[in-house]
Structure 1
Amino acid sequence: MTHEQLAAGLAPRLALLRALAAEQHVTRAADRLGVPQPTVSRWLAALSAELGTPVIVRNGRGVRLTKAGQILAEAAEQALGVLEAGCRRAIGEADPERGQVVLAFLHTMGGVRVPELLRAFRTSHPQVRFALKQAAHEEMLARVRAGDVDLALTAPLPVDEPDLECLPLYEQPLLLTVPTGHALAGRRRIRLEEIADEQFVGMKAGYGLRRITDDLCERAGFLPVLAFEGEEVDTVRGLVAAGLGVALLPQSDTALNGVVELGLTPTASRTIGLVWAAGVPLPPAAELFRAFVADQR
């Protein structure tokens, strides 16, 4: 059997492999798909026979994918992401005002920025639906490439990545956040070189803010020593308040408790913008939203 023949036969069973990867249980996967369990069992047996190796093995009361099954499930996830995006575009063509936008955004944007943007958009387009996803910067870009996400609101914006397009929206100031009892808390501004020996707390690798922090410190002549890493800006700010280090963070939208924000010399900021896949038509509802955001600049 050629790989083209295998792919043609596999196409109807892509959703099954994705469901098995998620559920790790044949009955639950069958229920998720609305397919009788005997049918699922026959599909799995036929696929294993065609491959010449099992795609699942028993694991207690459930199942787990074999290496071959995992490879096919990963391919199924990518393929279905593209197919589902195409289905949404096709449905949206009938009525863009009732379509759906899959929007990913940084955790730091969820408190005020994104809700305000959505509220303003829905004033003119009340029937458009949104699927909202929060993720790390690198994960968002990967999901845009895979077709799982229409638009990502993120920073830093991609450079020299021809498979992605972006729209810069605004500059968000970055400040040094220190505990209220810190020796520098009385200062208004500071140069990064002055804190080269301080312990930092920051975001985990893969987050855009972590990359920006590392780049700014490197330009100042040092690499930050991170005592703690987190996945939420509020968590990082809380670690600073506990006296566990200093951090480079966006200016807070809410009242500060236990920390002081100091300006940087020279000033630092990050460019927030929208990112989407190059050369791939956006669903009509997502195109409406992108045009609306562009007009708000």
Structure 2
Amino acid sequence: MAIDEEITLKKLQIFQSFMALGNVARASEALGQSAVSVHRALRSLEDGLRCPLFKLDGRKLIPLATAYIFADHVKRILNECETGIRRTREAAGFTSPTMKLGGLYSLTVRTIPRVLAGLKTRRPALDIELTLGANRDLLGKLKDGQLDAIIIALGEPGNADLLTVPMFNDAILFAAPVNSPYATYSEIDLQAMRDEKFVAPSDEFAEYRDFVEAFQKAGFQPNIALHVGDIFSLMNFVSVGIGYALLPRRVGDFNPKIQLIPLGERYAISQHIGLVLPRNREREPNLLALSAECRLLGAEWSRY
């Protein structure tokens, strides 16, 4: 099916802005165009599509159901176009001056600051946009092209399109308030925890996968008092006695009111932290510098 000449990328951008902002006046202000030009572009899209997108309420355009359907597709079209332009320029050697890096909240104490400091030494002119989130969320953004690389807990199902650079392992420990009955224990036998309550992370977090694995080894389903959507709130709930938790060693610096105690050897679990990036972009100068810094940090920390 041929695309009508009335449908252009510029008009799609105008349409997207109108749908996001809700009226012609706001869209025209955001785009730096006159309201008449915006209105004319929206109406010409209807001509190109040969179906109505709006109804008139006085002088106001009201989106029909067709407009919302079209908006979903327009968003993908413009994202794909933007990604295609960026990747084409990068393939021609015009490397982006900005890197969009994703990372886990729990890596913000030592790992990510150290990586960023080293990367800025290697690439002083590089601007870095840092996005923090959960494992699953960051992987989704990487696959969609919203992020250039991510530092996460490895172990999600493999993807041939992604390259991983292992950095270090971090033990999963038993988290308790500093004044808990387990404060003097040198290690924790999870099987003795059947009657205790636990605070668990949401399932998009890597820590949830570790939580499930540990209790599978213990042979019982834990009593979960609360599911929490971020690591800082989870630690706060542990600190006031809502329940115990299983957390990586690195979060011990986040909250002085919790104590991390090793699990018994039979329940031992480690998170494998690493860099993940698109395989087809591994030779880009910025990502080469990031990979080198992550390998250097991993080699240094593996000695301890």
Q: Matched residues in 2 for 1:140 and 1:133: separation?
A: 8
Percent identical across equivalent pairs?
Answer: 22
| Superposition TM-score, scaled by structure 2 size | 0.81
Q: 1:231 to 1:6 in 2, by over 3 A?
A: farther
Over residues 46-95 of structure 1, what are the superposed CA-to-partner deviations in whole Å (9 max), with x where a residue is unaligned?
Answer: 33444455546799xx9886544344333333343343344444555556
Match for residue 239 of structure 1 among 226, 234, 237: 237
TM norm structure 1:
0.83
Shift of residue 20, structure 1, vs aligned partner: 4.0
Q: CA deviation at 1:271?
A: 0.8
- Go from structure 1 to structure 2 and tell me whether the alpha carbon gap of 1:287 and 1:242 turns closer, same or farther (over 3 Å shift): same
**Higher mean C-alpha deviation, range 143-152 or range 23-32:** 23-32
Q: Pick from 158, 161, 164: which aligns with 1:163?
A: 161
| Secondary structure in structure 1 of the residue aligned to 2:253 | coil
Q: Deviations over 1:184-220 (max 9, x none)?
A: 2221211322223322113222222222222322232
The alpha carbon displacement at 1:180 in A equals 2.6
Looking at structure 2, the residues matched to 224 and 6 of structure 1 have their Cα atoms a distance apart, in angstroms, of 60
Query: Aligned residue for 1:122?
Result: 120
CA contact (8 A) 2:115 2:293 kept: no
Asked if the contact 1:106/1:135 (under 8 Å) is kept, the reply is yes
Tell me the CA shift for residue 280 of structure 1. Answer: 5.1
Aligned partners of 2:176 and 2:182 also within 8 Å: yes
Which residue is 1:254 aligned to? 253
SS of the aligned residue for 2:99 comes to strand
Q: Greater shift after overlay, 103-112 or 237-246?
A: 103-112
Choose 274-283 or 219-228, whichever is displaced more: 274-283
TM-aligned CA distance change 1:130 to 1:176, over 3 Å: same
Q: Structure 2 vs 1, CA of residues 224 and 282 (structure 1 numbering), >3 Å: closer, same or farther?
A: farther
**Quick check: 1:158–1:166 contact (8 Å CA) kept in 2?**
no
Q: Which SS does the other structure have where 1:193 is aligned?
A: helix
Q: Distance in 2 between matches of 1:166 and 1:273?
A: 7
Please give the root-mean-square deviation of Cα atoms over the aligned residues, in Å. Answer: 3.1
Q: Which residue of 2 aligns with 1:188?
A: 186
Q: Judge conservation of contact 2:122–2:289 (CA < 8 Å) in 1.
A: no
Q: Deviations over 1:88-108 (max 9, x none)?
A: 445555564x72111011111
Match of 1:289 in 2: 290
Q: Which residue of 1 aligns with 2:21?
A: 23
Q: Following TM superposition, by how much is the alpha carbon of 1:282 offset from its aligned partner in structure 2, in angstroms? A: 6.6
Give the distance between the partners of 2:62 and 2:34, measured in 1 at CA.
19
**Matched-pair contact (CA < 8 Å) for 1:200–1:225:** yes
AA at the equivalent of 2:163 = E
| Corresponding residue for residue 210 of structure 2 | 212
Task: Tell whether the 8 Å contact from 1:24 to 1:63 is kept in structure 2 after alignment.
Answer: no
Q: Deviations over 1:16-42 (max 9, x none)?
A: 344345433433333333333322222
Taking the aligned partners of 2:132 and 2:61, their CA distance within structure 1 comes to: 30
Q: How does 1:74-93 map to 2 (within 5 A)?
A: 74-89=72-87
Contact 2:252 2:259 in 1 (8 A): no
Equivalent pair of 1:201/1:244 in contact (CA under 8 Å): yes
What letter is aligned with 1:292? Answer: E
Q: Deviations over 1:155-176 (max 9, x none)?
A: 1333333333322211112111
Contact map agreement 2:102 2:132 (CA 8 A) in 1: yes
Aligned residue-pair number: 293
Q: Letter of the aligned partner of 2:261 in structure 1? A: L
Distance 1:17 1:224 in 2: 51
The match for 2:7 is 9
What CA distance in whole angstroms lies between the structure 2 residues aligned with 1:155 and 1:43?
46
Tell me the SS of whatever aligns to 2:154: coil
Match of 1:271 in 2: 272
Query: Structure 1's 256 and 32: CA in aligned 2 closer, same or farther, altered over 3 A?
Result: same
Counterpart position of 2:39: 41
CA distance in 1, matches of 2:104, 2:234: 14
**Structure 2 counterpart of 1:276, which letter?**
L
- Distance in structure 2 (CA, Å) of the matches to 1:139 and 1:7: 38
Letter matched to residue 199 of structure 1: K
Answer whether contact 1:100 1:286 (CA < 8 A) is retained: no
Structure 1 range deviating more: 270-279 or 22-31: 22-31
Corresponding residue for 2:136?
Answer: 138
Asked if 1 retains the 8 angstrom alpha-carbon contact of 2:5 and 2:48, the reply is no
Cα separation, 1, equivalents of 2:88 and 2:78: 15
Q: Which amino acid aligns with 2:224?
A: L
**126 and 184 in structure 1: CA distance in 2 versus 1, 3 angstrom threshold:** same
